[in-house]
Structure 1
Amino acid sequence: MTFKHRIAVVLSTICLPWFVQAKDWQVQMLNYGDAGSMVFEPSYIHAQIGDTVTFVPTQSGHNAKSYVVPRDTKAWTSPINESYTLALQHEGVHLYYCPPHLMMGMIGVIQVGKANNLDTIESKYPRLRSKIALSPERADQIVANIQQ
């Protein structure tokens, strides 16, 4: 390989569009998982702008609904019992839950880059937590994963 070819390979690798390196995270919606009953697995994701998250209804009766989203992001709700892919386009934290199973603590967090909306999470999370009858401590542990 000539010097020019080596330079071309290095430059093309460095200049690859960000979407080529994006990751698709898979979140299973489960009746029972490693953390107990009615869970998202994984329940916490630290992703990057350009990644996607696909919610997979591994077991029936689940969907995901945003409670807090990053600035400049629209609220979202997945259809019940259907896969749903969320494109992560803005930095911040998504706090979401399964509407049929919120009282059982079925919540999750997607952090995209920095948690620049942590103030909103801190102000709104107590109201969401008050609706959890079973395993509120598990929900606290999920939210505690958020990194500043």
Structure 2
Amino acid sequence: MSSITLRGAILALAMASTSALAADHEVKMLNQGKEGMMTFEPAFLAVAPGDSVTFLPTDAAHNTHSVLSPAEGATWNGSMGEKVTVTLNQEGVYVYQCDPHLPLGMVGVIQVGKATNLEEAKKHAEGMNAGIAMNKERLTQYLGQVQ
């Protein structure tokens, strides 16, 4: 076997094993969940770099919209009732919301690997809380779970 073919085989094997290790996590968009009305479930998620998160429109009239991502991190803005899958390669904290239900505290947090931008996320949350009328404590609680 030539060295080029051997290198190609090793590279293909390494890429296959990396993608095989990546996980897909599901987050439901709910009218009523364990934490009350208008919630993502789970609302806090810790994942590894390279994992995917699929937002499921379990109940109608919800979307998912990233409002804070680490530098060079993925962003997304799903339509109402749309299933959205995002692959998160960049380490850090991601904050997302349901646009029409932000005043009801429908927010969530994803930690990918090391929380490189946690202080930025906390500052951003302070500003977001001004637009939340009910369940203001949710975002602070979710950020409190970041390690």
TM-score bucket (shorter structure): 0.7 to 0.9
| TM alignment of 1:18-33, pairs within 5 A | 18-33=18-33
Task: Name 1:90's counterpart in structure 2.
Answer: 90
> Shift of residue 21 of structure 1?
1.1
Change (3 A) 1:53 1:74: closer
Displacement after TM superposition at 1:124 (Å): 1.1
| 2:104 and 2:132 in contact (8 A); partners too | yes
AA of the residue aligned to 1:109? V
Cross-structure match for 1:58: 58
Structure 1 residue 28 displacement after superposition: 0.1
For the residues of structure 1 that align with 2:23 and 2:96, how far apart are their CA atoms?
20
> Deviation of residue 64 (structure 1)?
0.7
| d(CA) in 1 for partners of 2:47, 2:53 | 9
Q: Deviations over 1:46-67 (max 9, x none)?
A: 0011100000000000001111
Matches within 5 A, 1:1-148: 17-147=17-147
CA distance in structure 1 between the partners assigned to 2:119 and 2:46 by the alignment: 18
- In structure 1, C-alpha distance between the alignment counterparts of 2:57 and 2:132, rounded to whole Å: 21
Equivalent-residue separation in structure 2 for 1:138 and 1:124 (angstroms): 14
User: Residues of 1 paired with 2:52 and 2:74: CA distance?
Assistant: 15
* CA root-mean-square deviation: 1.7
The two structures have a TM-score, normalised by structure 1, of 0.86
Aligned residues of 2:92 and 2:113 also touching (Cα < 8 A): yes
Runs (4+) of structure 1 moved beyond 3 Å?
none
SS at match of 2:76: coil
Q: Secondary structure at the match of 1:102?
A: helix
What is the aligned length?
135
Displacement, 1:75? 2.8
Name structure 1 gaps, 5 residues minimum: 1-13
| Counterpart residue type for residue 129 of structure 1 | N
Cα distance between partner residues in 1 of 2:78 and 2:47 = 19
